[in-house]
């Protein structure tokens, strides 16, 4: 039954992209435009770049920067978010600074950071970290503040130690919001990766697109652009799988809610009682 549901979900999500790709394949097959070559040529250039060219090295460089930057931002953002979210006065004191930092576009720092730190991997990772920190931090604060007060009171009444309360109450309660922040951060990371590699980098997908466009290799430019889109989609799928594995309890439905879904009515995720949340 479970495999059947997975197959049904995959078909539901993939049929439209498949239709669009097939339609573009035939629509662009007779294209003679220099700027919009046939899709078959774009995919052929993408395959040649991955198997025969240096595109696989560019991809590895970009993926490493994204992963390292987002992981560091997640550790820092979740850590500080829990501390700020647990202290209301600290949250009020840092709110203006956080709003200012969130409203400042990270792309504006690209030239300065490139000039300061050079054209290696470090400035790219730092930019990705700086741009992805804020959605994770703010969503963590929101998730911590949104934990049911009854759960907090139960933890205090039972004198649950701080470490156990952190890993059994605070972190699980804030995880849905944390994953929402990471999902936003991933899309920001892909954009910053491309921009930072276009401004100054001897390697990477952004540099590949820049060099291809500068030498009027339009097919290769489209191939790099398609690869960036595929990369963003794959990263989103991996995060979604991790989210479902980690938050299985959050996506579960009670028998009554499952029956409501079959009848076409809305249903909310099941919630745990305070005693269940501490177990």
Domain 37-252+271-278 = CATH 1.10.3720.10:
yes
SS3 at position 216: coil
* C-alpha of 40 from chain center: 29
Task: Spell out the per-residue pLDDT of the chain, length 279, in tens.
Answer: 556 766 777 777 778 888 888 888 888 888 888 888 898 899 999 999 888 888 899 999 999 999 999 999 999 999 999 999 888 888 888 888 888 888 888 888 888 888 888 788 888 999 999 999 999 999 999 999 888 888 878 877 877 787 888 888 888 888 999 999 999 999 999 999 999 888 877 889 998 999 998 888 899 999 999 999 999 999 998 998 888 888 877 766 544 444 444 444 434 444 444 334 444
Q: Within a 13 Å sphere around the CA of 139, how many CA atoms are in the beta-carbon half?
A: 18
pLDDT value at residue 274? 38
CA dist 188 and 128 (Å) reads 8
SS3 at position 4: helix
pLDDT value at residue 269? 43
pLDDT value at residue 1? 57
Unique residue bearing structure tokens 């804020």:
134
138 Cβ partners below 8 Å, 6+ apart? 81, 98, 102, 181
Q: Where are the domains of the chain?
A: 37-252+271-278
| 225-248: b (≥16 Cβ within 10 Å) or e | bebbeebbeebeeebeeebeeebe
The radius of gyration of the chain from alpha carbons, rounded to an integer in Å, stands at 23
């Amino acid at each position: 039954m479970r495999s059947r549901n997975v197959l049904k979900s995959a078909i539901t999500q993939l049929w439209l992209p498949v239709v669009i790709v097939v339609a573009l394949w035939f629509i662009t097959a007779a294209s003679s435009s220099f700027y919009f070559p046939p899709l078959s040529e774009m995919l052929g250039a993408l395959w040649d770049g991955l198997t025969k060219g240096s595109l696989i090295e560019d991809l590895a460089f970009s993926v490493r920067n994204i992963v390292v930057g987002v992981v560091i931002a997640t550790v820092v953002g979740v850590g500080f978010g829990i501390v700020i979210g647990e202290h209301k006065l600290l949250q009020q004191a840092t709110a203006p600074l956080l709003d200012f930092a969130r409203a400042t576009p990270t792309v504006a720092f690209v030239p300065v950071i490139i000039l300061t730190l050079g054209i290696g991997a470090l400035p790219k990772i730092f930019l990705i970290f700086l741009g992805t920190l804020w959605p994770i931090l703010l969503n963590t604060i929101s998730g911590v503040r949104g934990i049911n007060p009854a759960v907090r009171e139960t933890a205090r009444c039972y004198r649950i130690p701080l470490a156990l309360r952190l890993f059994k109450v605070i972190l699980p309660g804030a995880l849905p919001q944390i994953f929402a922040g990471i999902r936003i951060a991933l899309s920001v990371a892909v954009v910053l990766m491309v921009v930072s590699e276009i401004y100054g980098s001897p390697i990477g997908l952004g540099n590949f697109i820049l060099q291809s466009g500068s030498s009027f290799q339009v097919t290769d430019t489209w191939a790099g652009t398609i690869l960036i889109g595929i990369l963003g989609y794959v990263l989103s799928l991996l995060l979604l799988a991790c989210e479902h594995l980690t938050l299985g309890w959050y996506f579960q439905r009670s028998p009554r809610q499952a029956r409501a879904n079959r009848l076409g009515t809305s249903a909310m995720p099941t919630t745990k009682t305070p005693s269940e949340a501490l177990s």
